[in-house]
Amino acid sequence: AEVQDEGPGVPRELGNRVFERAVSGRNSTGIGLAVARDLAEADGGRLELLSLRPPVFALFLARGDD
């Protein structure tokens, strides 16, 4: 699944560092994307930054063998 917003985007100098705890480009806590990535990885998936501007994130989840 892909998610995009209409914000100004991820600053180029941050790139994939936006997933590190305490890293923020907009005066936030810098924990939201870190937690989102941790949750995805805990379920066998991954969260990736596809585009800086516009900001596009993709969530890839492992398929179960049900």
pLDDT for the residue 62: 83
pTM: 0.79
H or E, element range at 5: none
Q: What is the pLDDT of residue 65?
A: 65
**Bridge partners of residue 58, in order along the sequence:** 2, 48
The CA-based dihedral angle spanning residues 60, 61, 65, 66, taken in that order and rounded to the nearest 10 degrees = -130
CB-neighbour burial class of residue 11 (10 A; exposed 0-12, middle 13-18, buried 19+):
middle
- Strands, E assignment, 1-66: 2-4, 46-51, 56-60
- What is the mean pLDDT of each successive set of 10 residues along the chain, which is 66 residues long? 86 89 80 94 95 94 74
Residue 22 confidence (pLDDT): 86
